[in-house]
Chain A
């Protein structure tokens, strides 16, 4: 298991800090479960991916799946602090046009207010 997730609440927004790899298997399942749990109590989420070193196609599918679920339940997930790898993948797949992406956690938080 190569993914760690820490959650904190900042002004009514759940900030989820991820570090490690988001890949098909345990990691993607963990991300899915954790986000589902957070979504049951919070409608505003910032996903800080600054320490995510790698995301594969399976991980990307999970990320989009969570995003769609959140949107359909009236919640919002904003991404913050993409590393080069994650940024490239989102760029190639044009998913940068789907997600709201911010340079930093602060900027993402500010966008909620």
Chain B
């Protein structure tokens, strides 16, 4: 079947000073405000609502406003006026009442629909429930279609809507007074998921249902349990039945039917329904004062049992899908924030220049570099955060922020890493740490550096390569670690190159590492860090990187 899209449900009904009628004709719907009383309905063209259908009488019905209450009054029509399927002469209107004139199952009107932003699903449902899909389609099958459509529309909070609608539908089918859906939590306990009465009012936290019958139903192997308390003396003593005057209780266990039941040797023989897991229960009841519902057709109850379980299962899947989608969305937002944080703007200073590049082997990598400058200094940070993915990215952002603020405050490098180490170890991040190199060059060419767990940096001076060996523990591993910074005097043209271990550990197809020798060789011969990257990728051939590679080069220009 084709479900017509809802045209902006936010403007269709229910908002404004006057109640409204929503007229639904096939896939069209329009809203009519009840601005005067009486509001007339009929086939004649002078009516407020004209329905051009031969089954509708010329003067069919009126909606009258009396002391804050709206009434629908049949005007002696030939084929009758119906409210919620019942033929009426004069009837007080409640919100969401479904009115039909002359013919059932065609055009209908909803009186003053409840409306909220989240109600699009309900409205949508009321639309499709008015469609003549097929004479064999049950209300529950329609619900399933609705669910499918809701999934396509990415409707949120589907499960709640479905449950309430399911209860309402069940109430209509059984003509019971109150209905509840209970769902099983992970710990096996049942909790009330939705409830409403035949007037469409939501019931929450109501303790007046029969819990003992609910438990009986869950432990019975039958598809449903109809309990007529007037026929069954032993039930009459049960607390809730006496206290709340319950007449008939129908309880339908909702079972998830496994397509194929896998029987293991530990469970050699099982009762009939043991292969199907109980996911909850549908419960409806009526009181003595109300009508008798014990004669509801068993076929209807069977159909409800099967379709309701299916429906809830589907709704849960939709819910899970929606949550996964949102989670993905959050993750991609996080990823883009991370990328923006990590975006580097290299400051320009007259005495030095910097270039750097990072090749990530995963969406969110553990390597990053950053640069800052003060009047007389230019500083660069290269860090490799342990691990990959979101946790590494979080740590990287924190580290970056801390180092940045300390650098701007012109703190000694050893103090900066000590502060970061203290922060990380105090937070007990659990085996999460980072290797960091910070290098800071002054206008006069004095370079201060601190290396915390990185491969030693390279100092290239007129094609001569040296490796300043002073190193420290990584940050975030040991609370009592101490750090020491080194100092070097650079001459104009000297280059200070920092690489992460992803470079020295880049592997080729034979499993050889790129290693320090090749790195030093190309660093001495080359004139820039791009050549180092080219050399690494030539070495690896087609072998993919298994760690991020970062190369940063700081040149003292004098």
Contact = CB atoms under 8 A, between A and B. Distances in A.
A68 B431 CA distance: 10
Interface stretch (B132-140, B277-285, B468-476): B468-476
Interface stretch (A35-43, A44-52, A55-63, A105-113): A55-63
A113 to B, nearest CB: 27
Contacts of B497: none
B430 interface: yes
Contacts of A95: 473, 477
Contact of A93 (B387, B432, B453): B453
B435 interface: yes
A98 B472 contact: no
B384 A92 contact: no
B471 A62 contact: no
Contacts of A65: 430-431
Interface string A85-113: 00000001111011000000000000000
B386 interface: yes
Given A57-B386, A58-B386, A94 B471 contact: yes
Contacts of B455: 92
Interface string B368-388: 000000000000000010110
A55 to B, nearest CB: 11
B454 A92 contact: yes
Interface in B467-493: 471-474, 477-478
Contacts of A62: 431
A64 B453 contact: no
B433 interface: yes
Interface string A11-45: 00000000000001000100000000000000000
Contacts of A61: 386, 431-433, 477
A102 to B, nearest CB: 20
Contacts of B435: 57, 93
Contacts of A92: 453-456, 471, 501
Given A92-B453, A92-B454, A98 B478 contact: yes
Contacts of A28: 431
Interface residues of A, number: 16
Contacts of B474: 93
A58 B387 contact: yes
Residue from A64, A65, A93, A95 whose CB has the most chain B CB atoms within 10 Å: A93
A44 to B, nearest CB: 21
A97 B483 CA distance: 13
A38 to B, nearest CB: 18
A64 B477 contact: yes
Interface string B116-160: 000000000000000000000000000000000000000000000
B387 A24 contact: yes
A58 B472 contact: no
A93 B386 CA distance: 13
Residue from B430, B456, B473 whose CB has the most chain A CB atoms within 10 Å: B473
Contacts of B431: 28, 58, 61-62, 64-65
Contacts of B433: 57, 61, 64
A82 B186 CA distance: 48
A64 B387 CA distance: 15
Residue from A57, A60, A65 whose CB has the most chain B CB atoms within 10 Å: A57
Interface string B413-449: 0000000000000000011110100000000000000
Contacts of A93: 435, 453, 471, 473-474
A64 B431 CA distance: 8
Q: Closest 10 interchain pairs by CB?
A: A61-B431, A93-B453, A57-B386, A65-B431, A64-B477, A94-B473, A94-B471, A61-B386, A93-B474, A62-B431
Interface of B: 384, 386-387, 430-433, 435, 453-456, 471-474, 477-478, 501
16 contacts: A24-B386, A57-B433, A58-B387, A58-B431, A61-B386, A61-B432, A64-B433, A64-B478, A65-B431, A92-B453, A92-B454, A92-B456, A93-B435, A94-B473, A98-B473, A98-B478
